[in-house]
Structures are given as structure tokens and as C-alpha cells.
Structure 1
Amino acid sequence: MSKVTYQADVPTLMTVCDAKQLNNGILGTLVCNNLVEDSRQVQAGDLFIARPGLESDGRRYIHQAVQKGAIAVLVEAHDIDQFAQATNCTVPLYSVENLASQLGNIANYFYNSPSHELTVIGITGTNGKTTCCQMIARSLAAMGHKVALMGTLGNGFVEDLVDSPNTTLDALSMHRLLAEYRDAGAKYVCMEVSSHALAQGRVNSVNFDVAVFTNLSRDHLDYHGDMDSYAEAKKCLFKYPDLKSVVINSDDRVGNEILNDTEIQVDKYCFCITRINALYEQNSIYTEAVDFNDDGIKAELVTPWGEAVMTTNLIGQFNLSNCLAVITTLGAIGLDLNDSLDALKILPAVTGRMECYGGSEQPMVVIDYAHTPDALMHALKALRPHTKHRLHCVFGCGGDRDRGKRSEMAAIAEEFADNVILTSDNPRGEAIEEIIKEMQTGLLNPRSVSVKADRKEAIDFTINRAVIGDLVLVAGKGHEAYQFIGNEKHKHSDIDWVRKVLAKGNWS
């Protein structure tokens, strides 16, 4: 299938965001072939969009963009008089206040409203976004539907994901990819929606059909400042126009706030572990009996679509909650309950999410992305029933991020694991030793906790000192194949390294 190309009349496109023309430029018809924010990527016929970014300001590169063939420029209006390149622009120059919030509208128009022709499922929450997104998409694919997904593990069709720079893409890339998926015949798109993306307007003008809330706990306070602001960012998703239904974890306090919000006038479904938190008798899904075993989870369910038994090879109570979210979402979009359960039964663990290695004649090693206090606690509690002897925990904390959670995570590891090894995560611009010192302030007995700053060494050390029947949790990085140390990106995969250590070990 050949790639569809898009064009738009620039003056008409500018009316979408109420932009004002600042110069005379060229009068008459003016058609652009692409929307570009990076001046280095501009080609002849493109519309260059220039606005302030985190590290630079696109308005400083107007001249370069025009030299490369930009036929028009749209700029952020605030402080535009400080940029001589804008004053001397030789092509039509337009401006609009708060340009970042308008990018979704502009891209949606340029790509002919792609999300309106798709069933878009948006998933937000602190933990579980990736697992739920992957499981919903893979369940739909198993039922024979053409489905794309967008999130932490990549963007694209289920078996053909392309790495993503962020959990949720920028607005221009978002609508461009939605158009690609629509043009390639997709019916569904499952999308992880981060709090950053909601706060920054990156999903503006996406037509969500279903919004899913998994849970909320401490994370990203370096960006949002406090938990209330973090929660408010998440809640934005549930007030999007044209939303048809919401799927909410009613075991969560913020989930209950969303369900009780009278401004949200759409179909509301809630899922919860037990009936006590089932707020909507007709639209609730909960368990009546649960068996956590070595093979996974078996649960008796009560749902709006009938009673049933669910089985999955995933482990842990939080994965039970994820499974309930998936089943509820599939039901909310009209899919058969038995088909959903059949699909769920055969799904493997999501990459880097409670992924198991070893076992039998080796220690069991579980790799998980848990990088918040709540996620680490739930991971350790989930693994305790599967631990025959000692439960080990290897983890670190990221640099240049929320420092307050470092001591909390160390305290949780000390409480719920039998043996704790502190190591590096993505230290970025901070010294690994200083991060570990802050982690140690949360410990009751620091002398009982090992420190191995090198992550590979820490994993090797722990696995080789474990015995058959022990379980080792390697937490924090999950699927990631790198470490950010200083300004450099170093190749490192917990998955690859654990496999190597297990292959070389001898536990006979």
C-alpha cells in the first residue's frame, strides 16, 4: 500500500487556530506539504512551526527553515518582537498565542481528522498503562481486529513496533501516525496517555472513544510539583469532548473522584478486586473468588455481561487489576466477554513487566519496570507467594528526577524483601553515589543492605548468591535497553544481562 500524502491550504489552516498574519508575504493560494517543527528537517513546501522548547527556541531558526524551502512560518506570538528573524521573514508569517496548545488542532485538520475514523482507547495512570495498553491491543489482534498501539514500548501495529522517544508523542507526530494507521486499515488504536502529555496538550484534538484509569501514586513530582496537580493532569483525559465511556479503577481514591465527578456525563464502568468498591451495580466488574498460583491467576468474575471464570499466566494482585481493566474496556467497546477471556488466557507477559526467567533448577528472576514506591511495593508483595525461600530486590533510582521517592523506595524494599541490593538506574547528571546515599536515608538497618553501584555487577552478585527456590526481583528499567549516565546513553538491558548470568551460573 502506497503512503498517502497530505496537503493543506495555509490561509485556511491558519483559521483553525485563529492565527494572525504578521507580514504581507505572498498573496493567493498557498499550499503546504508537511508540518515541521525542526528546522533541520524542513523541505521545500513545508510549513515551519516555530515555538519555545525545553532546550531551544524554534523562532531562532526561521531563517534556516526559509532557506531550506519553508513556504510559510507559524510562530508563538508571546515575545515575538525579540526575534529579528521573524521581523525579517520573507515568506508569509503567522502568529498565535499559546501555540503549543493549538498544534493538535492544526495537525488534526491537516491529516483529515484521523482519530474520528478510529476507535481510540486512551489509558492513563501511574502504573499499569503499558501492560493494559499492550494487553488490550493484543487481545483485539487475537480476535482478528487490525489494531495499532502507541506507548512506552513503541508505536505501530502489534507485531511491528517502532521505538518511541516518549510514552506519548508530540502533537504533530501523534496525528501523523494516527493518519498512517487509519490509512493502513486500522480499526482500533490503544494509546498510553502520560500526565506530561495531558498537561502539555500533546493529545489535543484526539477523538478518544474510551478513557481508562488504572491508579495514581507518587511519580513525576519533579514536573507536577505535588500530588494534587499530578492528579488533575490525569483527570483531564476524562473530560475530553466526544468521549463515549470511561473505565475506572474504583479501588483507587482518585478513581472514585473521577467516577463521582458530575461533569463527566458519559457511560461509566468501574472495575475492582472485590464487590465492596463496586460503585455501579450495573456497570461494575469484580471478583468473587481469586486463586493466585504458580501458573498465574484464576478468578471468578461478576461483570455487566454475565459471570465467568478468568485465567491468566500473569502473577500478582496488581496484574489482576490490570486484567479487570482490560476485560472492562473490551466490554465497553462492545466485544463479547468469552472472546475477551479466551484472548486474555493466551497472552504472555508484557516485555519488562513482571517477566520471569530461570526457575526450576535455577533461582527465579523477575524483571519489572517498577520505578515508583507504589509499584515496587506491589511487585514485591505480588512475588512473595511465589518465593519458596528468600526474596531479593535489586533496584536504583533515577537522577534529575523526584528525589523524595528515593528513601521511600529503599524503605519499601527493606520491609518487603529479605535481601536488598542498591544500585544505579539512570543517574543522568547526578553522581550515582549521592543518589544511593539519599536512598539509604530510608533504611532502618543500612548495614544489612548491599550497595553495588554498577548495575551489571549488582545483578550478577545477587543472582549468583541466590539459591534454587529464591526469587530475585530486578526492578526499575524493565524493557529499557540503555542507561543514561551523565550526558551519555550506555547500552544496557536487564533482560539480556539476566539471561547471560543465568546461562553461566551453576546451582547444581
Structure 2
Amino acid sequence: MSHVPTTAPGPAGLRPARPTPRPLDEVVEGVAQRVVLPAGTPSAGTRGFVLPTVSGVVIDNRAALPDDLFVALPGARVHGARFAADAVARGAVAVLTDDAGAAQCGGLDVPVVVADDPRAVLGEVAARVHGRPAEALATFGVTGTNGKTTTTYVLDTLLAALGRTTGLVGTVETRSAGRAVPSALTTPEAGDLQALLATMREDGVDALAMEVSSHALALHRVDAVVYDVAGFTNLSQDHLDFHGDLDSYFSTKATLFAPDRSRRGVVVLPGGGEGRAWAQRLLDEATVPVVALDLTGRGERDGWTVLDVEAGAHQQEFRLVHADGRSLDVTTTLPGGFNLANVALAVVMVLESGVGVDDLAAALTRSGGVRPVVPGRMETVGDRPRTVVDFAHNPDALALALDALRPTTAGRLVVVFGATGERDRGKRPIMGRVAVERADVVIVTDDDPHGEPAGQVRAEVLEGARAAQAAGGRATVVREAAPRARAIRDAVLDAGPDDTVLVAGRGHEVWQEIDGVNHPLDDRVEARAALADRAAKDTGEQDA
């Protein structure tokens, strides 16, 4: 949270150009145990000491600017208070921390505000500093294991088609009225988020589409935002290294559908299996009004139902019908049943925000349907062989991606993927099994090893893959290849012209972390380079 050495660029953030300074005493009213004044300062009772005003809130000392409040949080290895002096040297005029942090801040010439749990109050404090900017925006928050990024991009596309000035916050990037910066986290830390929202307000943004991760909910990053409409895509195994088990993971997601975090919600209701059970549970337990988006066509619960699906090679069409008789025809260029669910969720969230069916239908007609470009999400980077890069990094997402590509693959379906080190180990053999059951050629490589031996991670994926192959899985080829760039290149060069190569797991990401060092690696760049070399080789052979 505070200073962590890395070779990757630091987080790029958007901050308002014209912040309004707020008195520190007003900003921390009701959240502070006490305020420790600098050593030697006369007490407020004798000399009327005046606390400073603050214009921003940061938890990274390197990002501190003049008049900022630096929030020193306890960390896994060191306390953020260790970096308070540096933040003050950069211009911070006060520190917010806990008792342990305050004990390390002696000697600072700025006030130290002490709170029992500074992370828990950070969102509220940052919202106060920036004048509660979320209240000026129509806000849409999307949570779920898979599909958050695509759904937010579709929301952004729909809102823009309706003439709104849009903002977007998510895994790939952060955008405010057309300007963009890369994202460091799926959901920014609370101080950064409130600064972003204040910037959007300053830029004239009036509608926000935002990914809301389970980590963000658990770590209080979005506590001061009440979304007009919250959406739930699905739930499957992921992030259990953080949450412990699926029930805890679900319970964290479900907190988005409570009055302190949203006003109403939309829940995707799939056809069956464990995913349907989680969706049913959320529909039953949500404490704000929620509607179901039924993908089965049966309309078993009041809400919206998907009907008349027609999937072609280049687009798919469907009809949304509400229990009250409203209906809307939708066309999208995004492939696969899972993307149909993402598009339908975004459409229904917009309708549930109060937009009329006729108004949205007219906007879709003007824009030629739903045609978003979602970086690293089923992104086709070349043909012959068709090569697709997708972020699928857990068993459910990998299965959905392979199932979506199978019907339009004339030759073999090849998949290159790995698993992340120092994360949920339980999903590794499951991903190996999923790949063997659905692909013809399975190439296991590295994702982000982090500090774990890369070969160990690959071995655990391969264990599941080879067990599935021995049990009669579809894949006839299962092999290991590293490093990742070489695995991608070999897969593209070895594939036939009618094959499909899916490079899964990293999507839009451009850094691969190995032993704490970030190395440049973009799957799309590597795949395009291999395709170019293949094309040059083919041309040379033809000329010869």
C-alpha cells in the first residue's frame, strides 16, 4: 500500500486541477480517536492551534502533493507510517493512521490523526475532502468473478450512445471524458477513487461505469459510493487465497447489494449449476430492490428474460422481455454466450436506471448495435490461424472462452495458458482439466509467477491436464512450454491455417511479474509478431 519497490511504472492517477481545500477538523470529524499535534505546539486550549486544510488524500508516499493528507496503513511487512516523513517532505500537511502508526510518527511537524481502523474510514474521509463527487454522477457498479470488464465497456458504449459524457474505471484503464490512463488496480484505493470521481465531475462527466472487485469491497475502497445500479455477473472459484472459501467470497460480493452501497441491482440468472444457486441466493438475500436477468428464456422470476437468441459468425441478436411487457431487440458484435450475458446485463442496468426502452432502442439504432472494443477480452489479433487473446484466468472463464470459439473453428482449437503464482492453488489442476476437455492442443506455460517457482505452478496445472487426458479428454497434445513469449510464438507457428489459437490468462496486461521484478510482456504483441513472421515465411516460400 505504501512504498513497494517495483520496476513497473507507478500508478498513474487523475486528480482534479482545481481542488477545494477542506479544513482537516471537518474532514476527520467523527472518525478520529484523537489528533496528536506536533511536538512543542501549544495546546488548542491555550493558543487556539488551527489545523491545516487538505486538498487530497494518498496512501502512497510517492504520490503525495502539497496540502495532501497522507494515510499510513498497516501493511503485511511494514507499516505505512515508515514512509510518513517522506510524504511530509513532499508536501503532505497531516497524517491519518492507527495507534501503531502514530507511535512511529513522533517528530513530524504535522498533525497526526489517530483512528481505530484508518482503512475503514479512508473512503469517507476522501469523499469529504473531494466534496462527495459520486453524488454528481449517475453511477453503475459491476461485480462478479468474470465479465466485469466487458460489462463496464458495454455500459460505457450504451451511455455514450445516449448522449452522456462518460467515465470508466476498471481493470484495463480509467477514462474521464475521453482521456485515459492505465489502471493499477481493478478498483482504485479509496483516496485515488475519490480523486478520480472529482476529476470526472470537473471534466463534465455525468455517467460512470465501474468495476467493483471483491477486494475493493472487503478493503473499503468503495465505501463512500452508493451506486445507482449495481450488477452481478456470476460467481465461480477465484481469489480463494484472499477470501478463504466460496461462501465468504459470495458474502463479500453480496455487500454491494445493500443500501449503503447501491440503490437497486440486476442479477444474471444462468441456466443451472452452482452459478444459478449463487444468483438465486443473491436475489433472495439482497437488501435493495433487485431484478433477475434470466438467461434461460423461462422467466421464472419477475424481471427481464433473454429470448430469441440468434448467434452468427460475426454478430449475435437477442430480445429482452420484461414481465410487464416491455421488450427490446439487441444486436452485438461480441462473440459467445457469456458475452451475450454481459451485454444483456449492461442493457438491463441502463433500463433499470430509468432510461426508457424507446430511448435506448433509438440510441442502439443510431450506433448500429452494441459494438464495443474491449482490450484483451476475446480480442482477435490476427487470422490464419485465427489468434485470440483473452483474460480468462480461472476455470469458468477458460471454459467459456473455449466453448465460444469451438463452433467457429474449422481446424484444431489450441490453447496457451498458465496460472498465477502465490494465488489460489486449488484452481490450477481444474484449469488443466478444463483445457484438455475442450481444446485439441494444450500448451501450459507461465502466467505471473510472482515469487513462486514457475515450474512448480506449471506442474500443478499439468497434473490436472494429464489426468484429464488419461481419462479420455479431447486434447491429443498436452505439453509444457516456457517462457511465455516462446510458448505463444510456437503455438502460432505450429498451428494450421484453419486452427484457432487462444492465448488465455493475461489479456490486456503488459507486465509479467517474476520474483518481484516486472518484465515487459504483452500477449497481443507477441502473437502479432509471430503471425507476422509466419506470414513473411509463407510469402518467402511462395516466392521461392
What TM-score do you get using the length of structure 1 for normalisation?
0.92
Which residue identity does 2:253 align to in structure 1?
A: K
Residue 102 of structure 1 aligns with which residue?
121
Asked if residue 353 in structure 1 is aligned to residue 377 in structure 2, the reply is: yes
Q: Which among 427, 430, 451 is matched to residue 408 of structure 1? A: 430
Residue 114 of structure 1 aligns with which residue?
133
Unpaired runs of at least 5, structure 1: none
Residue 494 of structure 1 aligns with which residue?
523
Asked if residue 255 in structure 1 is aligned to residue 283 in structure 2, the reply is: no
Q: Give me the whole-angstrom Cα distance separating, in 2, the residues matched to 1:99 and 1:344.
A: 48
Please show how residues 461-472 of structure 1 align to structure 2 within 5 Å: 461-472=490-501
* 1:211 Cα deviation after fit: 0.5
Q: Aligned in 2, Cα 1:179/1:337: closer, same or farther, shift over 3 Å?
A: same
Q: Aligned in 2, Cα 1:451/1:163: closer, same or farther, shift over 3 Å?
A: same
Q: Which among 120, 136, 146 is matched to residue 165 of structure 2? A: 146
Q: Give me the whole-angstrom Cα distance separating, in 2, the residues matched to 1:106 and 1:473.
A: 44
The secondary structure found in structure 2 opposite 1:377 is helix
Please show how residues 76-475 of structure 1 align to structure 2 within 5 Å: 76-77=98-99, 79=100, 83-86=103-106, 88-157=107-176, 159-241=178-260, 243-251=262-270, 252-261=276-285, 264-266=287-289, 268-276=290-298, 278-280=300-302, 283-287=303-307, 289-303=308-322, 306-335=326-355, 336-339=359-362, 341-342=364-365, 343=367, 345-359=369-383, 362-442=384-464, 443-444=466-467, 445=469, 448-475=477-504
Q: Give me the whole-angstrom Cα distance separating, in 1, the residues matched to 2:229 and 2:60.
A: 32
* 1:424 Cα deviation after fit: 1.1
Which residue identity does 1:382 align to in structure 2?
A: A
Q: Aligned in 2, Cα 1:25/1:84: closer, same or farther, shift over 3 Å?
A: farther
Q: Which among 484, 490, 495 is matched to residue 513 of structure 2? A: 484
Which residue identity does 2:256 align to in structure 1?
A: L
| Higher RCO (C-alpha 8 Å, min separation 6) | 2
* 1:187 Cα deviation after fit: 0.7
Unpaired runs of at least 5, structure 2: 1-15, 271-275, 471-475
* 1:66 Cα deviation after fit: 4.4
Q: Aligned in 2, Cα 1:284/1:136: closer, same or farther, shift over 3 Å?
A: same
Q: Aligned in 2, Cα 1:418/1:117: closer, same or farther, shift over 3 Å?
A: same
What TM-score do you get using the length of structure 2 for normalisation?
0.86
Q: Give me the whole-angstrom Cα distance separating, in 2, the residues matched to 1:265 and 1:85.
A: 42
Q: Aligned in 2, Cα 1:141/1:305: closer, same or farther, shift over 3 Å?
A: farther
On the 8 A contact 1:10/1:32 being kept in 2, the answer is: yes
Aligned residues: 498
Q: Aligned in 2, Cα 1:254/1:456: closer, same or farther, shift over 3 Å?
A: same
* 1:272 Cα deviation after fit: 2.3
Residue 15 of structure 1 aligns with which residue?
29
* 1:126 Cα deviation after fit: 0.4
Asked if residue 57 in structure 1 is aligned to residue 76 in structure 2, the reply is: no
On the 8 A contact 1:327/1:341 being kept in 2, the answer is: no
* 1:63 Cα deviation after fit: 4.1
Q: Aligned in 2, Cα 1:59/1:226: closer, same or farther, shift over 3 Å?
A: same
Q: Give me the whole-angstrom Cα distance separating, in 1, the residues matched to 2:368 and 2:423.
A: 35
* 1:107 Cα deviation after fit: 0.8
Identity within the alignment, %: 35
Q: Give me the whole-angstrom Cα distance separating, in 1, the residues matched to 2:436 and 2:88.
A: 58
1:231-287 residue CA offsets vs partner (Å, 9 max, x unmatched): 1111111114273320111223222111112x5132x2221222335411xx22322
Q: Give me the whole-angstrom Cα distance separating, in 1, the residues matched to 2:379 and 2:483.
A: 22
* 1:119 Cα deviation after fit: 0.8
